[in-house]
Structure 1
Amino acid sequence: MIKHLLALGLLALSLSAQAQATLGSNLIVNGDAESDVSGWTGFDGYELFQAVDYGSSWVLPTQPGPADRGSKMFAGLGAQSAGFQTVALGDLAGQPLRYALSGWLGGWAAQGDNALLYVSFLDRQDNEIGHAALGPVGPADRGNQTGLFLQTTSGLLPAQTASLMFSLSMERQGGGDNDGYADNLSFVVSSVPEGGTLAYALAGLALLGGVLARRRR
């Protein structure tokens, strides 16, 4: 599903303007659902997920989730729902950058419905040269509880990264509702401290070697 969505998103990306990135700020627009689904664009052929109120129909304020959860979270629609947004690195492109990706993902009781947050690292030709992902968080990961659970990852952006595409998808695997849940999604970039640039350069060379190796197959 992600590969198909990525192709659709890259087509849309080539036709639309992008927001610009700044250091130390959350680059995901409306990652907390408090502005409904503003900032997110649906993929052709898929329903865009919805913003719902915490409460008895979804996740109770007393059930697992972020302490600063606000009043809303994202939930799925239909069998599969997904949306995306993009940001251009602008003047930050080519600089050694570290990223921190986090989000609260979950579902309903023992059902397998789940959410996935996928970040594509794109070069100036909108080719994916790397990615990061959170989820899916299945019922075993949640202890068969209804709620959202913090997921995190971090790393170095490939040196050739010029823009980012954030894709959030929910999949229904049981029941009548799509109970893939997400809230408080965040992606922050920061400068690599002096002395860390060698590791950054080596990571870029390793990535380039992997790309060349795939092309030879």
Structure 2
Amino acid sequence: MSRLPHHTRSVPHRSRGLVTLAVLALAASAGPGAAAGAPAVGERMALTAFADVTAGATAGPGARRAATGNLIRNGSAEKTKGKPDDFSRVTLKGWSVKKSEQFTAARYAADAPDPEEYGQRLAKNSPGPGSRGKNYFTGAYHTSSATTGRATQRLDLGSHRSLVKKGATFELSGWLGGYAGNKDRMQVTLTWLDRKGKKVGKPARLAPVTVADRDILTPGEPGDEVTLLAERTASGTVPKRARKAKVVLKALRGDSGVRAAYADKLSLKLRS
């Protein structure tokens, strides 16, 4: 995909209010066997920035009502005691992290005088979700030069079996980002499993918010990327044989050596 042109914005630093700098939408056509009227299998990518923005499309009159709450446990790292830096390892409740993997949770820094200043650590007022807690996920924790950091969560869909067999749809979302001009990035993958744990259907992915994306979302000239979070969403039809699911957060190292990639407010909901 060709890179979109950089958009220069002139917006006062402390009075941006509700600002949407960019929204990019990508939708893949429905694959074979998709239920009639169901959302296309693939990804809808929404990039929104600045702390007071609520991202995502508004549900219309005919929208399906959510049949479940958020199935991801501790999707905002709030059930974890985050450290005041990105480099201390903590136990992530609800998530599995191998000793060989590099993944942790950290606390947002205090409000920055200028959250768009180059090189700012992810702060409470950094561009991102309007309502956020104290913590976020990061792959920056390091004890080695591992190229990735990974956290995994397995979900039991047994209590939603009837819903799934009738052709449920899903909505996967999360706020992903990275540090300044670093190429480190976060990726989220959702895999469906049958009752024996074998893969069924097509995985869903939240594509990383890359340094190029952050450049597009940043006011000013190209190359002045801001540390931020932007929303990614994906939707589709749940395979009827799915009885379990696996969610994997993967921090991918770019050129920094520390996997300074971020995630927050992860959600998976099923609809009837």
TM superposition score normalised by structure 1: 0.73
Extract unaligned runs of 5+ from structure 1.
1-21, 192-217
- Deviation of 1:120 after TM superposition, in Å, equals 0.3
Secondary structure (helix, strand or coil) at the match of 1:35 reads coil
The aligned residue for residue 135 of structure 1 is 207
- Larger relative strand fraction: 1
Counterpart in the other structure of 2:183: 112
Q: Check if 1:46 corresponds to 2:117.
A: no
Aligned ranges 1:12-51 → 2 under 5 Å: 23-36=67-80, 37-43=92-98, 45-47=100-102, 49-51=103-105
2:157 maps to which of 89, 96, 108: 89
* Aligned 8 A contact 2:75 2:266 in 1: yes
The yes-or-no answer on 1:145 pairing with 2:200 is no
Distance change (3 Å), C-alpha of 1:44 and 1:125: farther
Unaligned 5+ runs, structure 2:
1-65, 81-91, 111-119, 216-224
Determine if contact 1:105/1:181 at 8 Å carries over to the other structure.
yes
Question: How many angstroms does 1:44 deviate by?
Answer: 6.0
Residue of structure 1 equivalent to 2:124: 61
1 CA distance for matches of 2:195 and 2:166? 14
User: How many Å apart are 1:174 and its aligned residue?
Assistant: 2.1
CA-CA distance at 1:176 after TM superposition: 4.7
Structure-1 separation of matches of 2:256 and 2:189: 25
- Distance in 2 between residues matched to 1:91 and 1:138, nearest whole Å: 37
**Offset of 1:50 from its aligned partner?**
1.0
Instruction: For 2:150, give the aligned amino acid.
Output: A
Corresponding residue number in structure 2 for 1:166: 247
Mapped pair 1:98 → 2:153: no
How many residues matched? 169
- Partners of 2:259 and 2:210 in 1: CA distance: 13
- The separation in 2 between residues aligned to 1:102 and 1:70, in whole angstroms, is 17
Structure number with bigger Rg: 2
Secondary structure at the aligned position of 1:85 is classed as strand
Q: Deviation string for 1:36-66 (max 9, x for gaps)? A: 221000146323x111111167312222111
| Partner residue, 1:156 | 237
Q: Deviations over 1:84-104 (max 9, x none)?
A: 111111142223211001000
Q: Percent identity?
A: 34
Q: Distance in 1 between matches of 2:159 and 2:106?
A: 36
In structure 2, C-alpha distance between the alignment counterparts of 1:91 and 1:41, rounded to whole Å: 22
Q: How far has the Cα of 1:175 moved from its partner? A: 2.3
Query: Is residue 148–residue 182 contact of structure 1 (8 Å, CA) maintained in 2?
Result: yes
Deviations 1:97-151 (A, max 9, x none): 1100100000011111011111001112211122101021110011122111001
Distance (whole Å) between structure 2 residues aligned to residue 100 and residue 73 of structure 1: 21
Alignment of 1:1-16 (within 5 A): none
| TM-score, structure 2 normalization | 0.59
